[in-house]
Structure 1
């Protein structure tokens, strides 16, 4: 089933935020991220529905040992996904699961093959972090045919039945970035006006689609803010550097950049430096830069004044929650069909605050 924007309105949530800007905590938000997952386990207007294990759901592996869980991750070439892997491993340890995992290294077909192989190894549930929401459908449908529940993490599937999908609300994340830019431009100019660059994420992923939807819909509410360039940064530093280099050559006046993730922003910051257009915070020619994820590079750039803000996720805790839902499902408890993990806006004013520490600087726990 194709992902419908109507599904975004109802999500299970982590709870109330702790300071700063937390997204995804309220079901009333206009779009809850499928970050790469459109789980077809419910109708498009009923994503809040919970799933419960059938009476026959196995609690242990066929061999009578620990419950065996399969996990397929999209890539480990990005610190965020290293964080997801760490969280799945932490969650599996906490729940006493045996974990069998694969890394698709960015190859969508390889991921399907890996997932189907995991299904043949006696797993009682499978966690998927899809590279492509359409390409992963055969693996989801294969699991469905075998009666093995599918749990998607950070990204989702456009078809097949998914028991529970855990991710951040990426539509709301994009909205927050646009609002933040508008607020900063109002402080600078007295009204919401200026030239903005939008560096889109990896086209074809729901994380990129949702963040772009949230950002573009929200920024359009400010008629005097002009998006002078929209270009794919692909969640990649080198591609974002090249894209931003070209944009800087075309536009002598740029006030702000939204990077769909922090690899996009780091690439943009390098391009700004290379072009000799970096100005310190407070300077009217300073190019505002906001990204997403809360990577170590982004936090360092914020402290150095090269990046203004990041909307941080917490992949470690988010992934561990997915494993908790597997345990709940095995215990025949209801689990949410869609669960939105909160995000937090981090800038120089709060980066060392107790609120941010409580939320968790996940990138300080991950060694890539």
Structure 2
């Protein structure tokens, strides 16, 4: 499902900038639709004035200024979101990206988006620090005829955005549970533990719900313990230590976040435990390197792909140029796009390595 409050802290990151862009504030891959949007050639339908779906999208078209506003990039995944948006915008000659500094303060981010609205950008891409609290600013942009692509943490009403694109938190848990279930299938009295994220976040609750639902299909497997961490290395190490002390022996661990997973790995190494397999979440480069090396308990990670930000730029460009999306019959872009939570293992890790974030 979709993220609502802010993603917890992780690594610091520089502010977002673009080759053709502008940074606002005090300090101021192929994406989903990379080849799937419609052409810039002058072949509009005379009745609709829109480009027909299914043609190429490589040639420059109408100039589009996209305003990008996200929270502070204090976590590896959020830094990757910024980088994906910037890189995708740079790939288009007809896109100018105007970005904010990013903030986890609701009032400050609201002011930054107000600045973008006052600059009269053509389209806004917004990853709100808090979707519910910032719904008002999405509504304001839409009422001023600036279409909004709502990225990941959803606003409180669809009236505040033209299109939502984000990850599938329930699907993350579901696919993690299925992977573990298949690996432990047939083992008697198999035990699993869960290192969750922040329990006050809906995204954490959805990841746990998906995981529990998947395990229902494997009656021989029991979840015997769960700890909630805070998506940081420090919290991951502390909470994993507690799990290891509470459960002398288990067969699998589902960790919600690869950043906190770094701490969890430290705790596991310090305890000298290796009788279980570990599945991570999000898709960091560190996790993928460990999976590829195959010399630790970490055997898989379930993606929450930051490439959704690149896809958001594609969607914003399509909106600014009054396009549909290639491969779809509709003349308009979809109202929502949910990214798939693929499971990265040793068998397919090379394919996903370019998407791994630091």
Change (3 A) 1:260 1:204: same
Correspondence 1:306 to 2:306? no
Change (3 A) 1:360 1:341: farther
TM (norm. structure 2) is 0.73
Q: Distance in 1 between matches of 2:215 and 2:145?
A: 44
Correspondence 1:178 to 2:174? no
Q: How does 1:131-170 map to 2 (within 5 A)?
A: 131-159=129-157, 160-170=159-169
- The question of whether the paired residues in 2 share the 8 Å contact of 1:314 and 1:361 is answered with no
Give the corresponding residue for 2:347.
349
Secondary structure in structure 2 of the residue aligned to 1:329: helix
Q: Distance in 2 between matches of 1:225 and 1:111?
A: 45
Name stretches of at least 5 consecutive residues in structure 2 with no aligned partner.
6-47, 50-61, 324-331
- The question of whether the paired residues in 2 share the 8 Å contact of 1:154 and 1:166 is answered with yes
TM (norm. structure 1) is 0.71
Correspondence 1:330 to 2:330? no
Q: Distance in 2 between matches of 1:360 and 1:170?
A: 21
What's the Cα RMSD here?
2.7
Change (3 A) 1:329 1:270: same
**TM-superposition CA deviations, 1:252-291 (whole Å, max 9, x none):** 12221111121232222211112222x2xxxxxx221101
Q: Distance in 1 between matches of 2:341 and 2:202?
A: 17
- The question of whether the paired residues in 1 share the 8 Å contact of 2:64 and 2:96 is answered with yes
Return the match for 1:90 from 87, 90, 96.
Answer: 87
Correspondence 1:250 to 2:240? no
Name stretches of at least 5 consecutive residues in structure 1 with no aligned partner.
1-32, 38-54, 57-64, 280-285
- The question of whether the paired residues in 2 share the 8 Å contact of 1:112 and 1:135 is answered with no
Return the match for 1:125 from 112, 116, 123.
Answer: 123
Q: Distance in 1 between matches of 2:239 and 2:168?
A: 26
- The question of whether the paired residues in 2 share the 8 Å contact of 1:265 and 1:289 is answered with no
Correspondence 1:200 to 2:196? yes
Change (3 A) 1:331 1:301: same
- The question of whether the paired residues in 2 share the 8 Å contact of 1:70 and 1:100 is answered with yes
Secondary structure in structure 2 of the residue aligned to 1:75: coil
Q: Distance in 2 between matches of 1:179 and 1:138?
A: 39
Q: Distance in 2 between matches of 1:132 and 1:257?
A: 30
- The question of whether the paired residues in 1 share the 8 Å contact of 2:276 and 2:297 is answered with no
**TM-superposition CA deviations, 1:104-136 (whole Å, max 9, x none):** 343344323322232222222211112323222
Secondary structure in structure 2 of the residue aligned to 1:144: helix
- The question of whether the paired residues in 1 share the 8 Å contact of 2:103 and 2:129 is answered with no
| Aligned length in residues | 293
- The question of whether the paired residues in 1 share the 8 Å contact of 2:235 and 2:263 is answered with yes
Give the corresponding residue for 2:209.
213
Q: How does 1:59-78 map to 2 (within 5 A)?
A: 66-78=63-75
Secondary structure in structure 2 of the residue aligned to 1:238: helix
Q: Distance in 1 between matches of 2:266 and 2:79?
A: 23
Change (3 A) 1:220 1:161: same
Residue 221 of structure 1 deviates from its aligned partner by 3.8
Residue 94 of structure 1 deviates from its aligned partner by 3.2
Give the corresponding residue for 1:361.
354
